[in-house]
Amino acid sequence: MAIVHAYRKPDIFLTMTCNPKWEEITNELLPGQTAHDRPDIVARVFYGKLEAMKDPLLKKIVLGVVVAYVYVVEFQKRGLPHAHFLLIMDSTYKLLVPEQYDRLISAELPDKQKYPELYAMVVKHMMHGPCGALNPKNVCMQDNECKCRYPRPFNENTVQGKDSYPVYRRRDDGRRAKVRGKMLDNRWVVPYNPYLLRMFNCHINVEVCSSIKAVKYIYKGHDKASFSIDQPDADGNIDEIKRYGDARWVTPPEAMWRIFGFPLCANYPLVLQLALHLPNMHRDAFNAQADLKNVVSSENASKSMLTEYFKANEKHPWARHILYKDFPGSFTWEKRKKFWKRRVERFQIGRIVSTNPAEGERYYLRVLLNHVTGKTRFEDLLTMDGVVCGSFREAAERLGLIEADNTLDDCLTEAEQWAMPCSLRRLFATLLVHCEPGDVRILWDRHLEPMSDDYRRTRPSPNEVEQMVLLDIRAMLQSMGKDIIDFTLLTIDDVFDPTEGEAREIIEESTVEFDESDTKFSSSLNLEQRAAYDEILLAVERGDGGVFFIDGPRGIGKTFLYRAILAKVRGEGKIAIATATSGVAASIMPGGRTAHSRFKIPLSCDDGALCSFTKQSGTAKLLRMASLILWDEASMTKRQAVEALENSMRDIMGIRDRPFGGKTVVFGGDFRQVLPVVRRGSRGEIIDASLRNSHLWKGMLQLRLITNMRAHNDTWFADYLLRVGNGTEEADDQGNILLPDDICLPSTCEVDDLEKLIDHVFLSLDDNMSDSNYMTSRAILSTTNDNVDKINIRMIECFHGDEVIYHSFDSAEDDPYGY
């Protein structure tokens, strides 16, 4: 896009596909071999042809003088390589009218008598299909239509397209050709350039670009494939986790292309990414083993592309008319010595790294650098018409690059007419987080008085009033995931700060209240739970870390075990962080939080991602102090989220060679239940997102719990549930499981059946409640229209303890729950 910005939109889109029948390939094959048997020859020959293609395009100006280009090499699923070119022509060779299109591009069959060789190549390489009514099963068919929109209509003259490819000339001249058993005419011809097609004898699609959308097409990414591997183990069982995989599709020619080291993409001119940073906030790379004092004291540590740009402006007065983004066109960046040297050859385009308006001053600095030249210091960028501005935003406003926004001031002024001070403070905090105000201090000064009305009634000192308002706003900002130090407000005096500078996250976790009865749970653990309990606490006591996964279906008492472990660790004055993937699971643990909320995990995680907290944040301090991290329902989250936490933990702990930086981390869950949700994902993609496919899985100690505590009086039913969850219960061809008669209640469609069902539900509740301190079960008993007036519709809910609440309704219309 930097090239497009410099030279405008591409003019020509060209696709070149390998021809396995090239003589250079067939002459090297042994008898009986095909091109698929020698991917090394295919890769070498196509690379040679690709390089040869550059000669007529860039030197012989067959299509015109090319001033910039981009190409990308891709590989089809069947293995053949192809390349996409985008060409930007010189201004004198721009294609502006349809008559110019016809000189370069044809979409018709040539005269067979006059151009027999070209005719044969067009028929062999440039005919689409047949598809549609002639072949409904062709690979290009989607929803009974050709995705490439063939056959195209006849057209006497080329017509300029609007934000799309042109409509090329396709005359109904009676020319026909037999292609794959069907007679096709000009409506099926793929646009081509006769000279290039005759020269290279392969599929070469040439089109005129009418918009910059073609740029997105060539960067659409690599091919992927979803496949299954049905390899049973020694007992004949198939592991569904390992059965499906989501992977790159690397064909043999692509593998050989990478082994030979051939380039997969190229562009001209080259593009240099330019650094962007606020004063004294640039990045500097150094060796991990280097002494930080030596790194900081180094002469090059204070240098960056931007700071040296200012120095170059000071040193070379003739360069002061050049924008920062255009500087690489006249200067070369010396990476080792960190300075700009006057360019003597070639040409390069610069691109300032992108920023978001939410980044505040860094964004407005970029706006200024894109429009202001000749500055020699950061301070010069702040000086407009002899006035030193207080921020880069103010400087951009004075220069007319952005408009002053008074809507936030008007919003607070309007709210002051009716809102209470507490509401005004929350509104102020909300505006700071979501609306990026230009000058926070001016907004603060104008509205401090109405925001502090309640405090001024009880506290005579103006300084104390101001500090109390700041404390309130800080708490509100923290609840939104921000910190008051991120905004240009006054500092909070330690005298008025009840936290004494301690991070809010640490205070919250240190003051978590837990039920004293939880400390007695350890004496009620069964053998499996006790073994897991001892193993985890031993790791916490040693302090050398460990990663555990508690695996078990519902009803085995995982939450019971969690509460016992949390009570033990917190009872010793240590910090234990309790999280879960879902809010419901987190709410049943003392001090529980969702993992995304506690660890600041991004909503969209890719491989190698990091959590969004910094080393100096309260979250980082909390994680360093924590003795135990517990994450329930981890089987429901994507592995990338767990890996993001692990990457961040290694970073903040400074320990790279141990999982999670040497902390004790306990995961829990059941892979028999809901797996991670992948939007429009295939089965392979869902399995790939599972925690079991993470590189961390092999290092986790598996603690399996199989004793069902809810149904321990009915071992057959507990075993039956395990068989269903493990997929070993007998099923029919559609995957349906036949329920045994013992657990089914036969129906005679009489009123007595409903009474028996109600008694059965009450009996189940009585049996379960004594065994589970936390259990929620719900039974909805519906009736037919015939007896709805005779039997009340009942809903039964069971909460913790022995409290049972009954809801009874005379008819379905009275049921507020909609059951």
DSSP string, 133-161: TS-TT-TTEETTEETT-PSPPPBSS-B--
Please compute Rg for the chain using Cα positions.
35
Assigned domain for 727 exists: no
Q: Is the peptide bond before 269 cis (omega within 30 degrees of 0)?
A: yes
- My answer on whether 515 and 483 are in the same domain is no
Measure Cα distances from 442 to 74, 159, 438, 447 in Å. 55, 57, 9, 9
Assigned domain for 639 exists: yes
Domain boundary among 501, 535, 554: 501
The dihedral built from the CA positions of residue 439, 442, 445 and 448, taken in this order, carries a sign that is negative
- The secondary element (H helix, E strand) that includes residue 780 is strand 777-781
Domain boundary among 501, 523, 540: 501
pLDDT at 763: 56
CATH number at 598 reads 3.40.50.300
- My answer on whether 366 and 443 are in the same domain is no
pLDDT at 334: 92
Assigned domain for 415 exists: yes
- My answer on whether 282 and 413 are in the same domain is no
Domain boundary among 469, 501, 533: 501
- My answer on whether 482 and 547 are in the same domain is no
Residues 349 and 328 sit within 8 Å (Cβ to Cβ): yes
- My answer on whether 634 and 757 are in the same domain is no
Neighbours of 540 (CB within 10 A): 21
Instruction: Give the relative orientation of helices 639-653 and 618-625 as an angle to the nearest 10 degrees.
Output: 80
φ, ψ of residue 781 to 5 degrees: the values are -105, 110
In the chain, the number of structural domains is: 5
Average pLDDT, consecutive stretches of 10 residues, N- to C-terminus, the chain (819 residues)? 87 93 94 92 95 92 92 83 93 88 93 93 93 90 89 89 77 91 93 95 91 70 64 67 66 92 92 92 84 83 92 92 92 91 89 83 91 92 87 87 81 88 92 82 90 86 89 86 80 74 78 82 89 93 91 84 92 92 89 91 86 86 93 92 94 89 92 84 86 92 84 75 79 81 69 60 50 38 42 39 47 49
pLDDT at 194: 95
pLDDT at 190: 95
pLDDT at 748: 62
Q: Is the peptide bond before 279 cis (omega within 30 degrees of 0)?
A: no
Give the integer Cα–Cα distance in Å for 40 and 32: 17
Strands 66-75 and 81-89: antiparallel
Quick one: which of 170, 208, 266 has its CA closest to 63? 208
Q: Is 441 helix (H, G, I), strand (E, B) or coil?
A: helix
Q: Is 247 exposed, middle or buried (0-12, 13-18, 19+ CB in 10 A)?
A: exposed
Assigned domain for 158 exists: yes
Q: Is 576 helix (H, G, I), strand (E, B) or coil?
A: strand
User: Which residue spans within 283-377 are E strands per DSSP?
Assistant: 331-334, 339-342, 348-352
Assigned domain for 734 exists: no
Assigned domain for 723 exists: no
- My answer on whether 516 and 622 are in the same domain is yes
pLDDT at 757: 61
- My answer on whether 171 and 198 are in the same domain is yes
- My answer on whether 155 and 74 are in the same domain is yes
pLDDT at 85: 93
Quick one: which of 204, 207, 186 has its CA closest to 196? 204
- My answer on whether 415 and 393 are in the same domain is no
Instruction: Domain of residue 804: give its range.
Output: 745-814
pLDDT at 818: 45
Distance of CA 93 to the CA centre of its chain: 41
- My answer on whether 125 and 102 are in the same domain is yes
- My answer on whether 69 and 178 are in the same domain is yes
pLDDT at 241: 60
Q: Is 646 helix (H, G, I), strand (E, B) or coil?
A: helix
- My answer on whether 336 and 480 are in the same domain is no
Copy the structure tokens of residue 229: 């591997």
Give the integer Cα–Cα distance in Å for 342 and 331: 4
Assigned domain for 482 exists: yes
Terminal Cα-to-Cα distance of the chain (whole angstroms):
56
